Structure 1
């Protein structure tokens, strides 16, 4: 194997190891920070530019609540159970310079929207067959009845918040 091939392979393995190593703490925290590097633009244009950063939440599915058996029905109550999901709304941290109308300094506009928890339940389905359970007084045969179908509505719960601020200095 050539030295350049070994060097390329070593660089790829190092990059993969760094990526896998960085994914563990982000998964434990539940959010992935996303900085937006604008320092080069600030130096190239010789002016203040906005500072941006975000946090993206990771989606974590929960264990579904299984079917419930009810006496008198052939099929369970929740044929297609609802799946709980927990995540968060993305967070934002932005700070933008605002030029003074009468002067050389900068004021700033600051927007902070922290991540907030989101709890959701996926829609589910509950159906029943057009037959009753076998009855002893009817020689063990089921009776006919109207079929039943119901959709379990999805649920979404969250509390979002943000803070917008202006002030002097950058």
Structure 2
């Protein structure tokens, strides 16, 4: 491998790692739709669109909780916390006026929002109790138990939709 090729590869890797650091710290990755060339080629105003795509970050599940009198833990399949975000959107589009040569604009803005969620969990208990010393260490029978722990979703969504004159 030539030294110039190696230098180009190292420079590309450094640029990629340098760009990924701030995006990972912010929790979103900015994405723009580049239409500047179309605007200059057609000599007219085109829509502008930018978005923020959230990064999903799984958390640490809450471990099993042992309860006296149960053979299995309280939550057989624990819930997994997940943090992420709602995608953000910033757009501006020209709206032609019916009378006249000027344009109005339609603006859409929705900032990226924080989302916190817990995945569904499962609670199961078999039809046997824990070993009973009064019965020579043998378990007793009981009705089996099974339950689904409901998922949780918390977020706040915000946004604006506006129209206006001018460029």
The bucket for the TM-score relative to the shorter chain is over 0.9
Whole-Å Cα distance in 1 between the matches of residues 9 and 98 of structure 2? 52
Whole-Å Cα distance in 2 between the matches of residues 38 and 12 of structure 1? 29
Q: Unaligned 5+ residue runs, structure 1?
A: none
Whole-Å Cα distance in 1 between the matches of residues 106 and 5 of structure 2? 45
Shift of 1:10: 2.4
Which among 121, 126, 135 is matched to residue 123 of structure 2?
126
Whole-Å Cα distance in 2 between the matches of residues 124 and 115 of structure 1? 28
Which among 140, 145, 151 is matched to residue 143 of structure 1?
140
Whole-Å Cα distance in 2 between the matches of residues 15 and 101 of structure 1? 50
Q: Unaligned 5+ residue runs, structure 2?
A: none
Shift of 1:165: 0.4
1:19 maps to 16
Whole-Å Cα distance in 1 between the matches of residues 88 and 81 of structure 2? 22
TM-score (norm: length of structure 2)? 0.94
Paired residues in the alignment total 167
Structural mapping, 1:1-170, within 5 Å: 1=1, 5-170=2-167
Whole-Å Cα distance in 2 between the matches of residues 40 and 9 of structure 1? 33
Whole-Å Cα distance in 2 between the matches of residues 11 and 98 of structure 1? 45
SS at match of 2:17: helix
Provide the alpha-carbon RMSD of the alignment: 1.3
TM-score (norm: length of structure 1)? 0.93
Shift of 1:119: 1.1
